Structure 1
Amino acid sequence: MKIIIVGGGQVGGYIASLLLKNNHQVTVIENKDRSLETLKKNGLNKDCILVGDGTDALVLEKAGIMQCNALVCATGTDEANLTAAMMGKFEYDVPKVIARVNNPRNSWLFNEGMGVDVKINQADIIGHMIADEMNYRSIMTLMRLSKGDYSIVRVRVDYHSPNANKTIAQLQLPAQAVLIAIYEEDSLIIPHGETMIRPGQSILAFANEEAMKELNRIFGSDASV
């Protein structure tokens, strides 16, 4: 996929490195000298860096926005991210526009009407992670989706859970939860009905708030079926 990232700061640079490792074609637009130097020091190829303003139509076109599959707006200012998002969606019809929310008070602006398909609200994610750590012994939120109350969560199977060493088919999983993958040491397992749940495993799941509570009960130490 061809992906353009507007903003080459700490967040944009990390996203770029991650995408490049996964063999995507990436162009980072940045105009601040310090950020440009950091990108180069972190090993980003100069062919992946375009010096300029990501809210400038000529710069976006030079980056190849008319052929890109996704636009990531990751600057440190919400105004720039919204401007780039609207240009990408409404001027160039980019299929997927993802925007970073810096100020939580501006979160309501990041919607489809403003050209944003997916918003990443860091404060909201961190807040939910802290709340989860306080409320759920077994669950950590990895990503909260911008629509609805669904999240991608990591569930740890407690060593004292009575549901450990049972197959998925034997568990009464909540209807509003889907198990995506199971991690055990360095291996990844795609779960199915006969997959055995073992203590100490980490389970990647898609669930809403109520289902998260139920998953915590099922895989926690005081679970009962």
Structure 2
Amino acid sequence: MKVIIIGGGQVGSYIAKLLLENNCSVRVLEKRESVLDKLKRMFPEDIIIGGNGTDPNILESSGVMEADVVAAVTGADETNLVAATIAKFEFNVPRVIARVNNPQNAWLFNAGMGVDVAVNQADFLAHLVVEVMDLKNILTLMKVDRDNYSIVQLIVDSQSESVNKAVRDLGIPKNTLLIAIYRGEDIIIPHGDTIINGGDKILAFADEEGKIRINELFGSRL
């Protein structure tokens, strides 16, 4: 998977680290010289690109035309929104994710502006504090204001039908995406051949029907 990350601060560098550990192709765009120096000490220099992520020429030089995902995660909402719009409508990037810093700007981050998924940190944290339980095993972390989708977390029951099976054999619904598997101290980006273990903590993106199905898949059969 090829990912372009716009913004090399704490959020962007952390995402880059996780993706590189999972063998993804990554490019990080950053315009601040002080941050660039830090990034070059953290990562191979060939993945770091100096420049403004809202500049189409810089984006093109980063390989955005071949990217599967663009994640605009700077600390400035206007930068993230402009970068998302350019990535989606000028370069036809399949999936564009944008960070929302100011909750009052969240309404701007929509499909019409090129944003497929808006990550509203304030909303995310609020849901973590409230810990709203959904169905039997699923904790809803964040509602996505489109088509009843949510980012959810669940723990695989040791007696579930999914244990010791590969992801490709589980019949995951088409409109559901397994984002990550937390296994002890490890974070796994799931692929078709990833084997599910009892006790795995799974982060998923799903609509209402998808949540019902994965609750059945990963919950107890008793």
Instruction: Give the TM-score normalised by the residue count of structure 2.
Output: 0.69
Compared CA separation, residues 149 and 36, structure 1 to 2 (3 A): same
CA contact (8 A) 1:3 1:68 kept: yes
Corresponding residue of 1:11 = 11
Deviation at 1:146, TM superposition (A): 4.5
Partner of 2:23: 23
Which AA in structure 2 matches 1:31? K
- C-alpha distance 142-23 of structure 1, shift in aligned 2 (>3 A): farther
User: How does 1:51-90 map onto structure 2 within 5 Å?
Assistant: 51-90=50-89
For the Cα contact (< 8 Å) 1:85–1:114, is it kept in 2? yes
Task: Tell me the SS of whatever aligns to 1:54.
Answer: coil
> 1:67 and 1:139, CA in 2 relative to 1: closer, same or farther beyond 3 A?
closer
Match of 1:120, SS state, is strand
Work out whether 1:119 is the aligned partner of 2:118.
yes
Q: Distance in 2 between matches of 1:95 and 1:82?
A: 16
Structure 1 residue 5: deviation in Å?
1.0
Match runs of 1:170-181 below 5 Å: none
Distance 1:140 1:124 in 2: 14
1:1-225 mapped onto 2 (5 Å cutoff): 1-41=1-41, 43-132=42-131, 140-142=139-141, 144-155=143-154, 190=196, 201=199, 204=202, 208=208
Q: Is residue 153–residue 207 contact of structure 1 (8 Å, CA) maintained in 2?
A: no
Contact 1:154 1:202 in 2 (8 A): no
2:191 matched residue in structure 1: none
Aligned length, in residue pairs = 198
2-side partners of 1:3 and 1:114: how far apart?
20
Using structure 1 for the length normalisation, give the TM-score: 0.69
Identity, % of aligned pairs? Answer: 47
Counterpart contact for 2:127–2:140, Cα < 8 Å = yes
* In structure 2, C-alpha distance between the alignment counterparts of 1:25 and 1:184, rounded to whole Å: 23
Counterpart AA for 1:23: N
Check whether the contact 1:5–1:28 (CA below 8 A) recurs between aligned residues.
Answer: yes
Provide the rounded CA distance (Å) in 1 between the counterparts of 2:82 and 2:123: 22
The one-letter code sitting in structure 2 at the alignment partner of 1:100 is R
* Cα offset, 1:2, TM superposition: 1.9
CA distance in 2, matches of 1:189, 1:4: 28
Distance 2:77 2:126 in 1: 19
The Cα of 1:135 is off from its aligned counterpart by: 10
Kindly provide the CA deviation profile for residues 15-42 of structure 1, in whole angstroms up to 9, marking residues without a partner as x.
111111111111111011232233233x
Contact 2:137 2:154 in 1 (8 A): yes
Once the two structures are overlaid, the 10-residue window that deviates more, 64-73 or 115-124, is: 64-73
Distance 1:183 1:6 in 2: 25
Distance 1:182 1:44 in 2: 24
Q: 1:184, CA displacement in angstroms?
A: 7.7
Gaps of 5+ in 1: 159-163, 169-177, 192-197, 220-224
Write the letter of the residue equivalent to 2:95.
K
Q: Deviations over 1:191-219 (max 9, x none)?
A: 9xxxxxx8xx45647575xx79xx7xxx8
Residue by residue over 1:51-82, the C-alpha shift from the partner in whole angstroms, topping out at 9 and shown as x without a partner, is 01111121111111222222111111110011
Question: Counterparts of 2:65 and 2:80 in 1: how far apart (Å)?
Answer: 18
Change over 3 Å in CA distance of 1:207–1:9 after alignment to 2? same
Which amino acid in structure 2 is aligned with residue 47 of structure 1? D
